[in-house]
Amino acid sequence: MPIKSLLVTSLVFAMVGCGSGSEGSDAAAAADEAAPKQQADIPGGGSREVLGISPRIYTSGSVNAKVTGFFEVDGVQQLNKPASMTDGGSTWIQYGASGAQELNVLFTNDEAMAENGLNIGVGPYTVMATSTSGECRTNFDVKPATISGHYSCTGSTGYNKDTGQTGKVDIEVDFNAGS
């Protein structure tokens, strides 16, 4: 009998020590509070930031995006809930519908590559910007239930899929998402 009691007690301690691993856990909160960490500056002004974002499903948020130059857009779009999540060190936060005629913005983050980026589209136009490109300045605030960020990019290359033409654009984007 004493061995059985000892075994049950040990099993209980092991289960408590492992925790639940859910997004509300202390470990997830600690990971979010530690982010971001500056890893290295990139020539030209970009940076590699490791944004540690705990696994979560996004349920609210919006983006305000302004693009000037080769193509123009200035608008607000709401979170596309089914297309927005963080899991396995990767984040996808989609505002609007990708490829739609109206404004759509995708924020991505890859912890392993220490890189994050934006893809902004409207009609046939699109522009991609990354934290490592040297043309963007970024700022993020990652918390256990929210993430917000700002991108300011000068001289990014926009593309018109209908004509194949490219041109330079400037970007200002503010976004937020909650889980």
Beta bridge partners of 124: none
With bands split at pLDDT 50, 70 and 90, how would you rate the model's confidence at 45? very low
Q: What's the pLDDT at 14?
A: 34
Report which listed range, 19-28, 47-56, 90-99, is most confident: 90-99
Please choose, from the candidates 93, 91, 115, 116, the residue with its C-alpha nearest in 3D space to the C-alpha of residue 106: 93
Q: Which two tokens stand for residue 130?
A: 């990354």
- As a whole number of angstroms, the distance between CA 109 and CA 87 comes to 10
Q: Which two tokens stand for residue 179?
A: 């889980």
Q: What percent of the chain has pLDDT over 90?
A: 68
Q: Which residues contact 177 (CB under 8 A, 6 or more apart)?
A: 58, 60, 61, 79, 84, 93, 146, 147, 148
Q: Are 134 and 152 in contact (CB under 8 A)?
A: no
For residue 110, is pLDDT > 50? Answer: yes
Q: Are 116 and 60 in contact (CB under 8 A)?
A: no
Q: What's the pLDDT at 77?
A: 98
For residue 3, is pLDDT > 60? Answer: no
Q: Which two tokens stand for residue 99?
A: 């490829």
Q: What's the pLDDT at 50?
A: 79
